[in-house]
A = this chain, B = another copy of it.
Amino acid sequence: MIKVSIIGATGYTGSELLRYLIPHQDVELIHLTSRSHAGTQVTSYYPFLTGSIDLKFTELKPDAVFTDSDLVFICLPHGHSMELSALASTFDVKVIDLGADFRLKNIDVYEETYKVEQAAPNLLKEFVYGLPEKYREDIKNAQYIANPGCFVTSALLGLLPAVVHALIDPQSIIIDSKTGVSGAGRSASVDKLLTELTGNFKAYNPLLHRHIPEIEQELNSASEHTVQVQFTPHLIPVERGIFSTIYASVEDGITERDIIDSYKSAYQHEPFVHVLDKGELPQMKHVSGTNNCQLSVQLDERTGRLIVLSIIDNLGKGAAGQAVQNMNIMFGLPEKTGLAAIAMMP
């Protein structure tokens, strides 16, 4: 059994980790820390877990957490995991950080994007970017994982084969993404009230979204040419899910067959990424509650543009599901262990 703890267990990422980890046959939960709810029975805070867990949230005592655990998931807002990770590095413990602190390799870009200082620059090179479809071999031997952002995962899975094989103009990429509301977290705010969002739809931060540098970092490291993306996030009035509609101009001579072959080939052995057959279109809810990604890939002959539709669950492949997949890889388990659940329809 892998002894697992979660630091920051009372947000949506934390609760989704619990949903995956409680029934996971190889995991034993040790510490679930919460600043605001230490001492509270987990099922009292999360009544939907009634009957499935008998633990209390505890104060964060890092030494105890890092001593008692084989693996620690950190689910804190950006800026809060750098010092913790630095401390963790003095213990024999693996870390999967679901926040943003170690995703950006360029310290200046990180500090400009998140407006905080990179307090653990030496650790940066130890963190592997936790996208198994790109870095599986590195993840196998990693001690520290920077779990990717949800929008970024959706964009990268939808674009990597095209970028790697130079099928598209790397300056022409437009990513029009739509997410369920859980992506905005569990904090109280008028903006996220049901009454403000139901029946509604809106864009947010169309120009300034902080996930752009992360997308461009990972596309550029996979491309011979400089990639620049346009990215617009929108809010759908549903609980969870990401749907990205991706546009890019296809390079001369590239056929739809070339494109589909690249995608099918790239993901043929991937347990969680499914390239749909021609004519099939993904629906966001079809991966809800799972670690799956579904992709549709089409060439519009009329305009010469590639259109990729990429769907994930922002809390699944976009956060907790991917984190569990990374854990499975790090500990040599079959990748689908604890991740076999099927999406809920209806």
Q: A195–B207 contact, CB under 8 A? A: no
Mask of A49-69 contacts with B, CB within 8 angstroms, 1/0: 111100000000000000000
Mask of A268-305 contacts with B, CB within 8 angstroms, 1/0: 00011010100011111111110010100010101101
- A19 contacts partner chain B, Cβ-Cβ < 8 Å: yes
Measured in the bound complex, the distance between the Cα atoms of B301 and A228 in whole Å is 13
Interface residues on A, range: 35 or more
Complex: chain B residue closest to A273, CB-CB: B51
- A103 contacts partner chain B, Cβ-Cβ < 8 Å: no
Contacts of A167-215 to chain B: CB distance below 8 A: 174, 176, 178, 180-182, 186-190, 192-204, 206-207
Complex: chain B residue closest to A171, CB-CB: B303
Given contacts A193-B192, A237-B237, A302-B207, contact A283 B200 (CB under 8 A): yes
Mask of A253-279 contacts with B, CB within 8 angstroms, 1/0: 000000000000000000110101000
Query: Which of A105-113, A152-160, A239-247 forms contacts with chain B?
Result: A239-247
Measured in the bound complex, the distance between the Cα atoms of B231 and A69 in whole Å is 50
- A1 contacts partner chain B, Cβ-Cβ < 8 Å: no
- CB neighbours (8 Å) of A303 from chain B are 228, 230
Q: B281–A203 contact, CB under 8 A? A: yes
Listed in ascending order, the chain A residues whose CB lies under 8 Å from chain B are 12, 15, 18-19, 22-23, 44, 46-52, 174, 176, 178, 180-182, 186-190, 192-204, 206-207, 228, 230, 232, 234, 236-241, 243, 245, 247, 271-272, 274, 276, 280-289, 292, 294, 298, 300, 302-303, 305, 307, 309, 340-346
**Further pairs besides A19-B344, A23-B342, A52-B340: 15, Cβ < 8 Å:** A48-B345, A50-B274, A178-B201, A178-B234, A181-B346, A187-B190, A188-B188, A201-B236, A203-B245, A203-B281, A230-B247, A239-B346, A289-B289, A341-B341, A344-B344
